[in-house]
Chains A and B, each alone.
Chain A
C-alpha cells in the first residue's frame, strides 16, 4: 500500500501517461499509444482502424499488427517501423507488449518507469479465441481498460452455443443462404474458425473485402478450411449456405445475389434486442471480441491494479463498480474510438 501511495504521489508530479486530444501520451517516453491523429511516434495495440491509423512518423507494434497495417494501408503506412519483441527501452521508460486476446496480433502495452507500471489494455477479450493468442494478465499499478461492454447486462454466452444456434438455423432453413455480418479483421476469421471447430467442413463463401485478411490468417497458421469468393456473374444468383461479409455489405446491392437470405450478425451488441432489430437482423449471434462485464471485473482484479483508468465504452458503470469496491477509477473520455466498430 505504501509503495502505491508513493507512486501515486510521483504520478501527481509527472504522470507516466496522460490523455491528450491525440490519444494517451507518455511524456517520459515521448510516444502516443493508439493515437487517433498522426503523431511522431506511435505504439499500436492492434490493427482495427480506430486504433491503428496511417501516417505516423514511427510505429511500434507486434509483427502481426505491422503486417495487418501494411495490408490495410499499403506498405508505406508509416515512415519507420519497429517490431515489438521483449522489453524495449524508449527514452526514460521500458515498454513490453503482451497478448490481449482481441484479434490476431493484438497486444496490451505495459509501460514501466519511475518505479511504476501502467498497462494499457487496448481492446481485449478473455474468452478463448481460435484466431489469436490468449490474453495474459499483467500485474500493474494502473490498469487502463476499455469498457465497450461495460454494463452488467453484458455476459457473452459461450461462442460455441451461438454457433450451435447458427447450425440449428441452417438445419431449419436449408434452402436459405445464411449471411453473417462480421468485421473484416478478427471477427470474420473467428466465426470461420468456430464453424470449423463445430465440425462444419463445407465451403464458406467470403466477401471480397475479407480475402486478404483471411489469406493472412491462413499464412499465420490459422486453419480456416475451404474458403471461396462470394462472387457470381452479374444477374446470377449465388448458391451458398454460409457467407461471411462485413455488415456494411448488407446495405449494398451486393446482397441482391442471394435468394431469400437469413441475415445474421456476429457482435456483442446482438445481446440487446433493440440493437438487433435496428440492424434488421434475423439471426443475432452474440459473439464478441471484447471482454464482457464479468471479464472486465475479473481482469481488474487479476492485474491487482491500485487504480483503474477507463478509455472508452460504457465508462460510468465500470467506474461505479470500482467505487463500490474501493478502487480509485477515472474515465479518460478519449475521443475517436468506436464501440465494436464495423
Chain B
C-alpha cells in the first residue's frame, strides 16, 4: 500500500500530464505484479469492489475518537476519509500490506465482516496508506487518470521496441484487472490472450483542416459527411456481450441501457451517440444529462432516448473490416444498418459535393443545429488507430464568439507557475457583470505575459491563488457551443471556451450582454414548444 499511497498523493497534486506520466512510469518500474495491475485498475476506475459506505466509516471512527473532537476535526478537514485517515489512533510507522491483499480481501469479504476488516487494517497502516485504503474502499479515488493516459504510461514503460499505446489499449480492454500477462508482454513476452468478449478497438481520429489546408487536395478523392455534436462511441456486440465505449475506451454501457438493448447484431459500429426526439436530434446539453450516470431513470429513458448515428463499420459477423477501404466499409455499413432495422440506429447521411467551396458553404450553414461541421475522408482510407495524417479531416463550423470582460484570474502550474493563466470572464446583465465561463488557453506565451501583467496591475482582491481584477479588459472568447445549465450562475455553460483575441482596444462597457449569449442557445426540441 505504501508505494500506491505515495503515487496517489503525488498524482492528486500534479496537474501536468507529462509529470503524471513520469510518476506512473516510476511506480510501474518499481512495483511487482500483481500490485501494479491492481493500482492501474484502481486509478482508472476499473476496480469492482464492495463499496464501504461513509456511515460505516463514521461509526468506526466514533468507536475510537470522542464525538466532539471528531466533529471539530471533520469540520476542519472537510473530507470524511481524510479525517479518519489522519485521526485514527495508530502507530505512525505502520506495517505495510500489499495492494493485492487489500483488493482481493475486499472482493471476498462479506458485508457484516467489513467493519472489523477495515478497522484491523487501519490499526496497522500509516496515515497515508490509511487514506489510500479508505479512498479505495469508498471508491472515491479522483485523481484524473484516464485509461488513455495509463496506456501511454504503459507504452513509455515498454520502451521504443514495445507496443504502441493504441495496441496496449486494445489488449487492455480485453483483460480484466490485474491484467495478467500484460507486463510480461511489455517486457518482450508473448501477447496475452484477451478473454473479454466485445473488446474496445482503438478509434481512428481526424485532423482539423480549413480551406487553405484542403485547397491542394483533389475533392474527387474524398467523401464527406456531417460531424454530429454528440459523443463519439464504439458500439460493440460480439460473442453475446454488448458494450458502448467512448473514443477513449471508457465503458458507458450502464448509462445507456436503451441503446445497448438495440445492439442486436454481431459487429462493431463506430458512430455518434445522440439523444433524439421524434425526427429531431437534441442539443448536446440534453445528451449531457444522460452522461456520467451509473443508472438511468425510466423517465429519463422516455424523455431522452439514446440514438446511434453510424459512421463506420469495423467488424461484421466475425470479419475484421478495418483493412478494407472506406468505400467498401461504407457499403457494408449500409447493408448492416438495413439488416439491424432498428429506428435507434441509423446512417450518417453522405454530404455530396464537387468542390471545396461548395463544402465550405455547407459547413458554415449546416441544415441542423446539432451539426458542428463536416468530416472529410479519403475513399481509399483504411481504418487506422490514432490520428494518422492525411486520410481523415474535420472541418468545423466557425466557433461562436463573444466579447467578455475578465473578472478573476488564477495562477497556473508547472510551466505556468507564477503566471495568472486561468481566466474567469463575464458579460453584462443590466449594470452588473455575470461570470459566464473560464478559459486557460488560446493565447501565446507573449500574450500570457501581458495578461499576467494586467492581472498584477489591476488586482482588486485576493482569494488564495485567485485574484479579482478591475473589470477593464475585454477578451474575445471563442467556444464550440452553449448549453443551458442550472448549475452556473448565468444559467449558461460554454463548451471548449478559449481566448481568441485580447481586445486591449475595446472599452469594457462595449462587451457583450447576456441576451446576446442567450440568443445563441440552441432551440431545444425537448423543452421548447413543438412545431416551430
Contacts and interface: CB of A to CB of B under 8 A. Distances in A.
A276 interface: yes
A250 B412 CA distance: 11
Given A155-B127, A254-B418, A314-B72, A173 B22 contact: yes
A238 interface: no
B339 interface: no
Which range holds the interface residue count of chain B? Answer: 35 or more
A29 interface: no
A67 B65 CA distance: 44
A151 B127 contact: no
B72 A317 contact: yes
Nearest to B85: A153
A157 B72 contact: no
A234 to B, nearest CB: 13
B243 to A, nearest CB: 35
B76 A151 contact: yes
A280 B419 CA distance: 12
A173 B10 CA distance: 12
A324 B26 CA distance: 47
B13 A284 contact: yes
Interface stretch (A121-129, A137-145, A255-263): A255-263
A125 to B, nearest CB: 16
B24 to A, nearest CB: 11
Nearest to B70: A152
Given A155-B92, A273-B79, A320-B68, A278 B464 contact: yes
A157 B19 contact: no
B343 to A, nearest CB: 48
A168 to B, nearest CB: 8
A281 interface: yes
Contact of B69 (A251, A277, A278, A320): A320
Given A250-B417, A273-B79, A317-B72, A281 B23 contact: no
A157 B411 contact: no
A274 B72 contact: no
Nearest to B419: A256
Contact of A259 (B10, B79, B86, B415): B415
A280 B413 CA distance: 7
Nearest to B84: A153
A272 interface: yes
A321 B69 contact: yes
B357 interface: no
B35 interface: no
Nearest to B25: A172
Nearest to B410: A280
A250 B418 contact: yes
Contacts of B411: 250-251, 280
A273 B73 contact: no
Interface in B401-420: 411, 413-415, 417-419
B48 to A, nearest CB: 26
Interface string A157-177: 110000001001100110000
Interface string A267-294: 0000111101111111110000000000
B77 interface: yes
A152 B411 CA distance: 32
A317 B73 contact: yes
Nearest to A274: B78
A316 interface: yes
Interface in A283-323: 283-284, 314, 316-317, 320-321
Given A151-B73, A157-B92, A317-B72, A280 B465 contact: yes
A153 B418 contact: no
Contacts of B65: 152
Nearest to A261: B417
Nearest to B412: A280
Contact of B13 (A172, A253, A261, A282): A282
Interface in B7-66: 10, 12-15, 19, 22-23, 26, 65-66
A283 B6 CA distance: 11
B83 interface: yes
Contacts of A153: 73, 76-77, 83, 86-87
Given A151-B73, A273-B79, A279 B465 contact: yes
Given A254-B418, A279-B465, A281-B13, A324 B66 contact: yes
Contacts of B127: 155, 157
A252 interface: yes
A151 B66 CA distance: 12
Interface string B74-113: 0011110011001100001000000000000000000000
Contact of B417 (A263, A274, A317, A324): A263
B86 A260 contact: no
Contacts of B78: 272, 274
Interface in A1-41: none
B79 A274 contact: yes
A271 B86 contact: yes
Interface string A239-257: 0000000000011111110
B79 A253 contact: no
B13 A260 contact: no
Interface in A189-242: none
B77 A272 contact: yes
B518 interface: no
B452 interface: yes
A260 B415 contact: yes
A315 to B, nearest CB: 10
A172 B26 contact: yes
A256 B420 CA distance: 11
B456 interface: yes
B465 A278 contact: yes
A165 B6 CA distance: 9
Contact of B82 (A173, A273, A321): A273
B76 A253 contact: no
Contacts of A256: 418-419
A50 B462 CA distance: 21
A94 to B, nearest CB: 37
7 contacts: A153-B87, A155-B127, A172-B23, A272-B78, A277-B13, A282-B14, A282-B413
Interface of A: 151-155, 157-158, 165, 168-169, 172-173, 179, 250-256, 258-261, 263, 271-274, 276-284, 314, 316-317, 320-321, 324
Minimum-distance CB pairs A-B, first 6: A255-B418, A153-B86, A280-B465, A153-B73, A278-B464, A260-B415
Given A151-B73, A272-B86, A280-B413, 17 more contacts: A152-B65, A152-B69, A153-B73, A155-B92, A157-B127, A255-B417, A255-B418, A260-B414, A261-B414, A261-B417, A272-B78, A273-B79, A282-B15, A317-B69, A317-B73, A320-B68, A324-B66
